Amino acid sequence: MRTDVVIVGAGAAGLLAAVAARRLGHEVLVVERTASVGSVTADSDGHLWMPGNDLMGRGGTPSDSADEALGYLNGLTAPADEMMAARRAAFTRTAAVVGRWLVSSRIGLEVVKGLPDCRPASDGAKSQGRTLRAKAPTARLDDDWAGRLRTSRDAESPGLLTRLRRGFRDGAALSAGGALVSELLRRALGSGVEIWLESPMTELLVADGAVTGVRVDREEGDVEVHAERGVLLACGGFEADAELRKQHLPGPTSVSWSVGGDNDGAALRAGAQVDAALAELDRAWWTPVLLADGSAHRVDVARVAPHGMIVDIAGDRYFNEAEPGVWAGQRMYEHNRGQRSVPSFLVMDKRHRKQHDLGPWPAGSSPKAAIEAGELVRAATLQELAEGLSVDRAGLLGSAVAFNQLAKRGRDTDFRRGDSAWDKHFGDPLLRRNPCLGAVDRQPFWGVRVYPGDAGTAGGLVIDERSRVLRTDGTPVPGLWACGGAAATCFGGAQPGDGAALAAALVEAFRGIIDLSDQLDRIDEALA
Ligand SMILES: Cc1cc2nc3c(=O)[nH]c(=O)nc-3n(C[C@H](O)[C@H](O)[C@H](O)COP(=O)(O)OP(=O)(O)OC[C@H]3O[C@@H](n4cnc5c(N)ncnc54)[C@H](O)[C@@H]3O)c2cc1C
């Protein structure tokens, strides 16, 4: 079979690429391994960190520019090399263009109000406005395709309020990520993009070092698809592959700690066929999780909320529990080199449990099965809790005394929890002095093990600022582009803002399609 462009993977980035390629007049085939579209984005918040977007400078949000965003990014971590610097510059210049393109495609975007960048005190950071999300869809997908939007296996207990809000946003209770995916899918189908589900790419077709298409495993047998213009790998990372995790991620690690997709490293296997360079393989979009019934659940609000603290096996606090997820995961691994902190332990008192959901366990619940299984520990005293969690007793008691004094003063002089606008955003607004600090002193006490989970891996194929896949000798592989989880992140282990992973995936997909259409120079000149 022949087509112009083959896109491997029907996540948000693959779908955006498909719509963009079709708009540029190409025939497009999307091949998707699973029976559903949208991957994890379809049931996520779908936050997009898009600096310089057109909504900034309006409605109380600060103004922004690509230069400010680039300064902020490079201040967080220096770019590893010139290529990384060029990719970051391309990202900050193009994010607003992609936002504009979505709006011109009638996919409404809105600011996530009050959400600051992850390091709000750094130069070039913004107090709000860079994180966007899709508005509710303007029309419904037909029922057959609507049923193929992936639902999350994490279901991160979004809480009643979030569910209610979603319910009001649209009748189908789609998340903002679901809205984005459903709108992109509707446009893809409406414009004539062909989508094959349950059709994994098994290998690239390569001739004289150039990629000419893909081999696809279909029910009726193997199909060779030749792509006249090129192939875009939008097939994610390797979070679901135990061997690759063991080989590349810091240890210990487990597939069961991931709330990411089912991606099994297809991009790495494809890259090996063309001697592609790999980078950042030890990085992931870390997010602390707890385990319940064998699956991972994010611990976001629960670790920031007052009346709780995280300790290592010695019972000591060792970081600001309110850190953005990527940094929190890194701290857990760094600290683990000296003192066991994988897993760590979230210790809570009665008020915490009463007020906050914890993984799958609603606020105020006392889940019998989880307690019996030892997943959640309940104890009358901190001594008993330490025993139940196998944490050093004296260490935990000492930490609780120190923490409670800090809470009383409203100032975490040890780790500065609650100091930054980011921390405050996720804290309890009713606590005036410090929305993230409250003593851990009311019985019963509760404890749960917390692991450095992930929402997908962040390393992969080295791409340039055109999203072309590069060989180990630095030259581009003709005919091959990659984006998102398939490619190495350009953020170098930093989490600049909520929605950076997805925004980068969309921008890279967009730039790749424009490049394979030979129009990127024109766009870049206009942006210069
Ligand atoms: C619960 C959750 C919430 C998140 N929320 C956000 C957020 O709000 N903002 C943000 O920035 N990031 C978020 N992330 C991370 C973000 O979703 C990912 O970074 C993003 O989805 C990566 O996009 P991608 O297109 O590269 O990969 P994916 O979205 O995973 O898409 C890859 C697609 O390729 C398919 N595929 C894999 N192998 C093959 C093959 N061999 N052949 C054909 N198809 C294949 C997969 O089935 C999948 O459909 C979240 C992650 C999780 C888990």
Q: Does 388 sit in the ligand 1 pocket, CB within 6 Å?
A: no
Q: What is the pLDDT of residues 249-303, one digit of tens each?
A: 999 999 999 999 899 999 999 999 999 999 999 999 999 999 999 899 999 999 9
Whether the per-residue pLDDT at 165 is higher than 70: the answer is: no
Across residues 351-378, what is the average pLDDT?
96
The CA 40 to ligand 1 mean position distance, Å, reads 5
Q: Could you tell me the sign of the dihedral formed by the alpha carbons of 133, 136, 138, 143, in that order?
A: positive
Q: Does 331 sit in the ligand 1 pocket, CB within 6 Å?
A: no
What pLDDT band is residue 163 in, cutting at 50, 70 and 90? very low
Across residues 215-220, what is the average pLDDT?
96
Q: Does 313 sit in the ligand 1 pocket, CB within 6 Å?
A: no
Across residues 194-211, what is the average pLDDT?
98
Whether the per-residue pLDDT at 168 is higher than 70: the answer is: no
Q: Does 46 sit in the ligand 1 pocket, CB within 6 Å?
A: yes
What pLDDT band is residue 173 in, cutting at 50, 70 and 90? low
Write out the H or E segment, with its range, that includes residue 514.
helix 500-516
How far from 62 is each of 111, 144, 206, CA to CA, in Å?
12, 42, 49
Q: Does 44 sit in the ligand 1 pocket, CB within 6 Å?
A: yes
Top CATH class of 2-237+458-527 equals: alpha beta
Q: Is 307 helix (H, G, I), strand (E, B) or coil?
A: coil
Q: Does 311 sit in the ligand 1 pocket, CB within 6 Å?
A: no
Structure tokens at 246: 């063991």
Q: Does 268 sit in the ligand 1 pocket, CB within 6 Å?
A: no
Across residues 235-246, what is the average pLDDT?
98
Q: Give Cβ neighbours of residue 52 (< 8 Å, ≥ 6 apart).
A: 64, 65, 66, 68, 69, 92, 93, 95, 96
The CA 350 to ligand 1 mean position distance, Å, reads 37
What pLDDT band is residue 150 in, cutting at 50, 70 and 90? confident
Across residues 500-508, what is the average pLDDT?
98
Give pLDDT, residue 169.
36
How far from 288 is each of 39, 196, 230, 362, CA to CA, in Å?
21, 35, 38, 18
Across residues 53-62, what is the average pLDDT?
94
Q: Which atom of ligand 1 is nearest to the CA of 501?
A: 11
CA atoms within 13 A on the CB side of 42: 24
More confident residue, 166 or 51: 51
Across residues 73-86, what is the average pLDDT?
96
Q: What is the mean pLDDT of the chain?
A: 94
User: Which protein residue's CA is at the shortest distance from atom 4 of ligand 1?
Assistant: 44
Q: What is the pLDDT of residues 329-361, one digit of tens each?
A: 999 999 999 999 999 999 999 999 999 999 999
Q: Does 79 sit in the ligand 1 pocket, CB within 6 Å?
A: no
Q: Does 456 sit in the ligand 1 pocket, CB within 6 Å?
A: yes
More confident residue, 394 or 140: 394
The CA 42 to ligand 1 mean position distance, Å, reads 9
* Single-letter code of the amino acid located at 10: A
Q: Which atom of ligand 1 is nearest to the CA of 37?
A: 49
What pLDDT band is residue 160 in, cutting at 50, 70 and 90? very low
**b/e sequence 308-317, b meaning 16+ C-beta within 10 Å:** bbbbbbbbbb
Q: Give the pTM.
A: 0.95
Q: Does 285 sit in the ligand 1 pocket, CB within 6 Å?
A: yes
Place of tokens 């009346």: 307
Give pLDDT, residue 143.
85
Whether the link from the prior residue into 343 is cis, omega within 30° of 0, is yes
Place of tokens 């009050």: 114
What pLDDT band is residue 4 in, cutting at 50, 70 and 90? very high
Whether the per-residue pLDDT at 155 is higher than 60: the answer is: no
Q: Does 205 sit in the ligand 1 pocket, CB within 6 Å?
A: no
Across residues 178-202, what is the average pLDDT?
96
User: Which protein residue's CA is at the shortest distance from atom 23 of ligand 1?
Assistant: 484
Give pLDDT, residue 363.
95
User: Which protein residue's CA is at the shortest distance from atom 9 of ligand 1?
Assistant: 499
247/206 Cα distance (integer angstroms)? 27
* Domain ranges across the chain: 2-237+458-527, 286-454
Give pLDDT, residue 117.
98
Q: Give Cβ neighbours of residue 467 (< 8 Å, ≥ 6 apart).
A: 232, 481, 482, 483, 487, 508, 509, 511, 512, 515
The CA 163 to ligand 1 mean position distance, Å, reads 22
Q: What is the pLDDT of residues 24-54, one digit of tens each?
A: 999 999 999 999 999 999 988 999 999 999 9
More confident residue, 42 or 457: 457
User: Which protein residue's CA is at the shortest distance from atom 10 of ligand 1?
Assistant: 499
How open is the CA angle 203-205-209, to the nearest 5 degrees? 115
Across residues 99-124, what is the average pLDDT?
95
Q: Which atom of ligand 1 is nearest to the CA of 235?
A: 34
- How many residues comprise the chain? 528
The CA 296 to ligand 1 mean position distance, Å, reads 17
How far from 329 is each of 59, 206, 322, 334, CA to CA, in Å?
34, 39, 11, 9
- Smallest CA-to-CA distance from 296 within 153, 448, 456 is with 153
What CATH code would you report for 286-454? 3.90.700.10
Q: What is the pLDDT of residues 407-451, one digit of tens each?
A: 999 999 999 999 999 999 999 988 889 999 999 999 999 999 999
Tell me, yes or no, if the two domains 2-237+458-527 and 286-454 fold the same way.
no
